[in-house]
Structure 1
Amino acid sequence: MADEDPNDAVLSDVEGDDDPIPIVLPSPSPSSSTVPPPSAAAIAAAEQRVRDLLAELEKERGARKSAEGTFNRLKSLAHDAIRQRDEAFRDKEAAVRRRDEAIRDKEEAARSAERTVAELSDALRLKDEASKQKDSLRSEMETAAQMLLSGIGKISGKVSGYKNFSASGGLPTSQKYTGLPAVAYGVIKRANEIAEELMKQIDAASKARDQAREQVEQRNYEIAIEVSQLEAAIVGLREEASKKTSEIESLEKMVAERGSRISEMEDEISKLRQHGDDRDAKIKGLETKLESQRPLIFDQLSYTSKAYEQIREILKCVDKDNNDLSEPSDSLFMWEEMDVDDNLRSLLDGTKSVYELARVAVEKVRDRLEDSNNKVNDLNEKVMELLAEKQHIGTLLRSALSSKTDEVLHVAEEGLREVGIELRLDPRDEHDSNDSGENEVYILADALGTTVKESQIKIIELQHLVEALRKGRVQSTEIPFGCPSKRDFPTEASYKAA
């Protein structure tokens, strides 16, 4: 900053005189207007003087222009000189810094030279030791190279069943290495190729195992769905059979009560006929008795009509497509206030119609039970087919895994034996190392067998239940065999848990 202050002062001095000094011409004074006009000589002299003044003015203007040009050149030269001076100062400072850096570099080079001398002495000592070991290592390297070549050749011959490595004309070579490193490079390259080929074979075996596992899981899922459908259908059958059994027992009780009442009424009518001679004397008693029996008969007619309607509803539920059921006559169970014989006859006709409807209902229910038994048998056959497929898949999985494992172990044992290492690899040890692969397949197969056995036991129990229901006097309505709803199917989480 101290060096720049004089420069700024100089520049300001140079730039301060940029504006030219104005030239002021004398103007005529107003007092001359009162002067009398000059003569011709004076006018000529004045004109000559004006011409001289104009010439001097032109000269002054030219001199001023030349002075301005000179001043501008001097100004530019001053600017250049000041700029060069500043650059010279900056170059001087940079040269000083470079000198200091060179001195520091020189000191560091001297210290590094001392370290290099010490290292050189150590290197000479190590060189002497290395020269002594070089001769011994050379023979060992030749022996190791021969052993590597013979060993990798024998291993290549053992795995020639997967790929022929000897067809390439020897070991892979490299322009970067020579001698034992080149041999080691070729052996490592060939071993890498053999390992990659073995890994490909193992990957193919694992892919086949995964595909088989997916097929087993799919079959397990389908079996679980079919078993759940069967269980849902049989549970619905059991519930409907229990409900209809209770209803039929109540109907049988009602029919028995009506039969006992009708027999009592027939006995009373026979007694009335036997005592016809005493009719006139007992008219009032008979009227009171008829009045007492009339609500009973009315109740019997009403209950018979209700039973008739219930059995018709059962028939409609069992056989919805049957439109041959005749509509009940309105006069069949109608109460006649005046004629008792007609009321009893209508009661008998109603009881007969109830019996006919009950017989038809029993036949319909029996047919439906036979259909359900046929469906249960079909489901049993499907379960047996699924069991046979499961056993076949398990056998294929075990045979494929055992064959691949035995081949790999045999190749490894032969290669080690040729190198000079006697080692017996047990397939069981390899299986222990691959528990995450094979044991998973065996566990899936065992879980499938357990699930199928449990479903067979449940099916047998349900068959016994159906046989027991068939032997009894069961009259039930239609048992729906539709597909179960979505919530009846096992979810994926429950299937995995099983």
Structure 2
Amino acid sequence: MDVPSRLRVLRPPRESDRRRSRGRCRREISSSSSSSLSPQSRGSNPQPPMDEEVPDDAVLSDVDGEEDSSIAVPADVSAADQRVRDILAELEQERRARKAAEDSRADLRTSINRLKAFAQDVIKKRDDALREKDDAARSAERAGVELSEALKQKEEAVRLKEEAIKHKDEALRQKEEALKQKDSSRAEIETAAQMLVTGIDKISSKVSGFKKFSAGLPRSQKYTGLPAVAYGVVKRANEIAEELSKQIEAATKTRDEAREQIEQRNYEIAIEVSQLEATISGLREETAKKGSEIELLSKIIDERDSRISEMEHEISDLRQSGDESSGKLRNLEAKVDAWRPMIIDQLKHISKLYEHINEIVCITEDRYSDQTDSSDSAFIWKEMDMDDNLRNSLEGTTLVCELAKVACEKVRLRMEERCQKVKDLEDKIADLLEEKQHIGTLLRSALSSKTNEVLQVAEKGLREAGIELKLNKNNDSHFHRKEEDEVYSLAGALENTVKASQIEIIELKHLVEALRRSTVDIFGFAGATDLDLPLAESSLLKAHLDAQAKERSQQMLKLKELEEKERIASESVEGLMMDIAVAEEEIARWKLATEQEAAAGKAVEQEFLAQLSSMRHELDDAKQGTAELEKKLKFKEETAAAAMAARDAAENSLRLADTRAARLRERVEELTRQLELLDKNDSVTRNNHRYICWPWQWLGLSSLRYQADVQDSNSNEMELSEPLL
């Protein structure tokens, strides 16, 4: 900073000095002519008074004063000739001095031109440095604006993060509610499965008289849970139905066989009755046969009584089975009544699930839907129609599945938008960091290169001007000491240095001119000695040096103040850099937090999708179970109706069998009376064969009559055998 204070610029001889030397020569010529006229004044050198005005032409330069002091005044007679020769010699000396002054003037002019070129280069570089400083300030302002925008975006991202946390809490709450609903539905499914298992076990225990089934329900490799239980129940019901159908077929077969046997026995009874009638007609010869036949008839009657008792037992069994089927029907009706509240609860839970998923869709779209009234109509319980209720349940589950698909799509779109925003923020932050680093490197490189060039040019110009000054040491040390600071303080210091050097150059020029003028004013008289001028000039130079020392001390104080300002500016820049580093760390933490939040959101979304799929499968399974239960209920209703019809038919057949048994008893009693009458008449008409017309007996008229009686008895026996069917 103190380089311009050391510069010393030599002023070239001016045109006014040359005019002064010419005027002095004229005055000497005139004085010599006057001295030739008045010899009294030869030995003296007249001095002009100090208070008179001395024209510019009469002022002598320092060189002229020194040369004139060495000239001696002649004292001989030929003084005029000597004066002329002296004047000619003095003119010759003046020419040589003028030539030397012109040479020195040319040298000084070249040095001044070089100094001007150096000053122009310095000014140009100062303007470049100012332009770069303005560009750096504008870039810093842009960086500040972008940093404020980044902070705003950060606040927006924090707000989005809070909203995502709220959505996450809402999803967790919905998840807990779904888990509760799932547990309740699972408990209901378990109770339904237990009821199905106990019901089918009771049914199988009631049917165990026909066939013993294995313990437990049949297993299925295709279904699990409630569908597997329903599959086992349906399979066991099918087995029971098949066994009942087999028993019915066996009963019909035994009935047909009994009918055939009864018909055969009726034919045999008809034959036996015909034989009895033949024996009655034969009377005596067939008495033994009639006794045997009576015993046989008694046996047959006993067998018929036993068969009738067996039939009554079977009828009682049929009545018992009818009662059991009616009890089963009542149990089925009770089960249907028990399942009705379960289906109502299922419809309620499905409607709640639809409302919650609809709320999720509304939250993702930032709106509120009013479609609950239209959707609630699909979940209304109808007291009178079970099919409509099941159909409403199916429609509700379909609506829930469709709404779950829409909710999944909305959540996926929202997560994709959030990931895209995070990615855009990361790209913008990376671009800002790269731009900052690039600006810093460009400013440092430009400042270092231009500072070195400026110092080299300044040192070269000073060296050409005759001043040996090393500008690289202080400036290099200063540059290396402040290299790590920001470029703004260095550019300002360089600008201040260039301005101070220009001001000092201008002040030195004015000071040299003032010194020249003061020396001419002080030593302008012709009789001055050679020692007076250097002493006066040295005193003036000393005073000027003292003033320059004071100015230098003031400049050093200013330099210290500038260094303190630079230190404060560097500290402020370091603080800004630390703030930027803290902001970068905060952005990195925010980025990491957003990535973690996005990963957590994806995990929650996947878990929610898995739960939706599991709930969908469970709904499908429940739907299949309800369909199978509906089929089973229809089958049981049909079987109950068939059992009731069979019970009515059995009661009718029992009544018909009672009537036919009464008729059969009456017929047997009539036959016994006829046998008793025949026995009585046999004793009376044993020896009355003479009254019989033998041709009619030989012609077989009695046998023909007997056959007609047999046919009548056969028809009666057929009528009596019908109740046994």
Taking structure 2 as the reference length, what is the TM-score of the superposition? 0.35
More contact order relative to length (CA 8 Å, sep ≥ 6): 2
Taking structure 1 as the reference length, what is the TM-score of the superposition? 0.49
